[in-house]
Structure formats: C-alpha cells, structure tokens
Amino acid sequence: MTTFQRLMTIRKERGAGYLVLIDPDKNEKDKLAAFVREATRAGVDGFLVGGSLLLTDEFESHLQTIKGNTTVPVLIFPGSLFQVSSIADALLFLVLISGRNPDHLIGNQVIAAPIVKKTGLETISTGYMLIEAGNMTSAEFMSNTKPLPRNKPDIALAHALAAELIGMKILYLDAGSGAEASVPDETIRTISSHCPLPLIVGGGIRTPQEARRKAEAGASFVVTGTVTERDDLGSLVEEFATAIHSVSTVHRRS
C-alpha cells in the first residue's frame, strides 16, 4: 500500500486525520524521539517534516529519529529544494497554485524532479494554497507571493478546481506558521462541497475545538505545528486527536 493510499484509508475510516508538523529548526533533537512516541500513542495519524527555513544541517537526522519512533506515515513538507530524503515515506510535491511566482509554479519543481526521481521517493502532487492570515507569515515572505483573500471563498474554489482538472492528488490550504487567523471554515466548506480532492488544512489552529471545526467544515486532515512545539505538551496532542477523530464521515455528510 502506498503512503497516499494509507492516508486515504485514514480519511475513510476516521472521517478526518490529524497530522503534526515538525520543523527541524524549532524542535530540540534530544526531545524529539520522546515527543514522536508520545504523539503516536496519543493518536496522531502522520507527521509532516519541513520548514520555510532550514538553519540546521540535521534534516535527515531528524527524519531518522521520527521514522525510528513511529509507525504512522512520515511525509516531507518541503520548504526548499534542500528538503528531500528517501528516509521519509513520501514527499508532498508542492505547486504553489495560489501565487504567480513562476519559481514555485514550475521552476523549483523542474530542478527538484531529477533529484526526487533518483531517490525513488513516493511523491504526492499537492496544490498548495496560501490563505490570508492577518499577518505576514514565513511562507508568504519566503515564497514572495500574495495569499488568497480570506473573505473570497469563490476565488479559493476556482484554484482548487484548477488543481483537480490539472490532475493533482491533494490540496493543502495553509494560513502559515504562526498565523494570527486560521483558514476560514467557510473557505474549507466551499471547497470540500464542490471539489473531490482530499483537503489538508493547517496554520493558526491553536485549540482542539478549532481543529474540530475545520474537520466539520470538510478538512480531510488537520495540521498543527507551532502549538505542539511547547514544552508543556502534556495531553494536548491527544485532545487534538480526539477532537478531530470525533468528526465521523456520517456527520460530515449531514
């Protein structure tokens, strides 16, 4: 079974899945193994690894630690061309469809393709959409693109439909790390109602209740990152997992 198929099985069985984003620059290596084991026990469905910047040279070392301490999928969420490794289960092959910067529409993908192909790493073609978050995030600054307006779900839907017709496998709506506001529920609801592609939603999601609302609106997978970088983690990850998994497929269709 491919990693993509595993994700779709999670979506089918649980209604919505919970992914935790691990930024190698923001997670202490000596605490990483324990965190991954605890998060896996708490019900996390997968890990995303990557960041807008890469200030450490231990990207592959972080991947090895994560892979060695979990049984759930580990996917690269690349912030640059340097974040590619066969250690992961798969790589989200991102196309920044919300922007008009040609480097992120085809330029970087052309450079990365031979490298990724040589590793044999599974790729999941992903339509990546930045949504206005109330402040400038690292993703917005580093990509040199303008996010989609948060109060215009019809514009977001048009981009999603374009991704579907192009043949992409999945959509990722992102407000960005440290966003003041998360992706609006109405945008999620509009896209999920008219586009069949699985939908990952992340950025600015700070509470289990907010995560549940994203799943209720139609998110196939909900991502948290910054909120789970705190030292007082405790049972927070389990609370997020429980909230997201409580949204059944029956509820989402009603």
Range of the domain at 109: 3-16+81-253
Is there a contact between 21 and 78 (Cβ–Cβ < 8 Å)?
no
Q: What's the pLDDT at 254?
A: 42
Q: How many domains does the chain have?
A: 1
Q: What percent of the chain has pLDDT over 70?
A: 93
Q: What's the pLDDT at 51?
A: 86
Q: What's the pLDDT at 16?
A: 98
Q: What's the pLDDT at 249?
A: 58
Q: For residue 144, is it within any domain?
A: yes
Q: For residue 237, is it within any domain?
A: yes
Q: For residue 190, is it within any domain?
A: yes
Q: For residue 108, is it within any domain?
A: yes
Give the residue-averaged pLDDT of 191-219: 97
Q: What's the pLDDT at 253?
A: 47
The HSE-up count of residue 170 (CA atoms within 13 Å, CB side) is 24
Residue 232 pLDDT greater than 60, yes or no: no
pTM: 0.95
The tens digit of pLDDT for each residue in 156-201 reads 999 999 999 999 999 999 999 889 999 999 999 999 999 999 999 9
Give the residue-averaged pLDDT of 54-71: 88
The tens digit of pLDDT for each residue in 122-152 reads 999 999 999 999 999 989 999 999 999 999 9
Contacts of 26 (CB under 8 A, 6+ apart): 51, 226, 229
Q: What angle do CA 30, 34, 39 make, to 5 degrees?
A: 135
Q: What's the pLDDT at 10?
A: 97
Give the residue-averaged pLDDT of 207-221: 98
Q: How far apart are CA 108 and CA 92, in angstroms?
A: 13
**Pairing status of strand 46-49 against strand 90-96:** unpaired
Q: How far apart are CA 148 and CA 45, in angstroms?
A: 28
Buried b (16+ CB within 10 A) or exposed e, 160-187: beebbeeebbbbbbbbbbebeebbbbeb
Reported as a pLDDT band with limits 50, 70 and 90, residue 55 is low
Concatenated DSSP letters of 24-49: TTTS-HHHHHHHHHHHHHHT--EEEE
- Give the CATH number of the domain where residue 146 resides: 3.20.20.390
Q: For residue 66, is it within any domain?
A: no
Residue 101 pLDDT greater than 50, yes or no: yes
Q: What's the pLDDT at 143?
A: 93
Q: For residue 58, is it within any domain?
A: no
Q: For residue 216, is it within any domain?
A: yes
Give the residue-averaged pLDDT of 49-73: 88
Q: For residue 158, is it within any domain?
A: yes
Q: How far apart are CA 17 and CA 184, in angstroms?
A: 19
